[in-house]
Structure 1
């Protein structure tokens, strides 16, 4: 199986697992951590071009699990976190990882946030090294072993 096919299959598997837990993923902390994760993956290389921003925003809006929340609210939070990352990536990353860590005490939510990062990163068929690295960092901030997700 080609690498692209494995990445796509992994993202689809993660999405199916998320959908199975949709009713457990309705807290504000999960919403915020998810948007922080989306922004972190989108800006993993330190910048984000308009096409990538639009692609991630579309994935957020169309994600069945994230439809538990108003789309405008998600967009606002995503843009806020992206702004922090694009103005000063290193400092912004600290802030965003702190937001992600707020779901640490809820294992279902913590793992779901990691899965969202993988779904977003793998949606284009190229879950690249920088995206994998930031999702791995998020695992550490959530006390979730990266090996659980083959990171």
Structure 2
């Protein structure tokens, strides 16, 4: 199986798992952590270009699980996280990971946040090393084993 097919299959599988738990994923902490991981993945290489911002924003808007929340609220939160990362990536990453960690005490939400990061990272057909690295860091912030997610 080609790498592209494995990435697409993995992202599709993760999305199906998220959809099955949609009704359990409605907290403010989950909303914030989801937007934080989306911003981390979008800025994984240390920069945030306009096309990447638009692509991830489109994925957020069409993600079935994230439709539990108002689209304009998600967009504002995503943009705020990206602005933190763009201003100072390393310092911003610490702050953004703290918001990801807010779901640590709810394992279903914590795993769903990681799955959203993987879905967003793999949506373009490539889940590159920078994207994997930030999702791995999020796993550590959530006390989850990255191997559980093939990271």
TM-score category (smaller protein)? over 0.9
Distance between the aligned counterparts of 1:108 and 1:40, measured in 2?
20
Runs of 4+ in structure 1 deviating by more than 4 angstroms, as ranges, are none
Residue 104 of structure 1 corresponds to 104
Structure 2 gap segments, 5+ residues each: none
What is the aligned partner in structure 2 of residue 40 from structure 1?
40
Q: Could you say what secondary structure the match of 1:110 adopts?
A: helix
Quick one: distance in 2 between partners of 1:10 and 1:64? 17
Q: In the alignment, which residue of structure 1 is the partner of 2:76?
A: 76
Corresponding position of 2:148: 148
- Structure 2 counterpart of 1:117: 117
Give, in whole Å, the separation in 2 of the partners of 1:110 and 1:141: 10
The Cα RMSD (Å) is: 0.3
TM-score, normalising length: structure 2? 0.99
Deviation at 1:49, TM superposition (A): 1.2
> Shift of the alpha carbon at 1:127?
0.1
Deviation of 1:66 after TM superposition, in Å, equals 0.1
Between the two proteins, the alignment pairs up a number of residues equal to 151
2:130 is equivalent to residue 130 of structure 1: yes
Q: 1:8 is matched with which residue? A: 8
Write the distance in 2 (CA, Å) between the matches of 1:131 and 1:95.
18
CA deviation string 1:14-35 (max 9, x = no partner): 0000000000000000000000
In the TM superposition, residue 72 of structure 1 has moved relative to its aligned partner by 0.3
TM-score (norm 1): 0.99
**Counterpart position of 2:26:** 26
Distance 2:29 2:52 in 1: 25
Offset, 1:48 = 1.5
Distance 2:102 2:79 in 1: 19
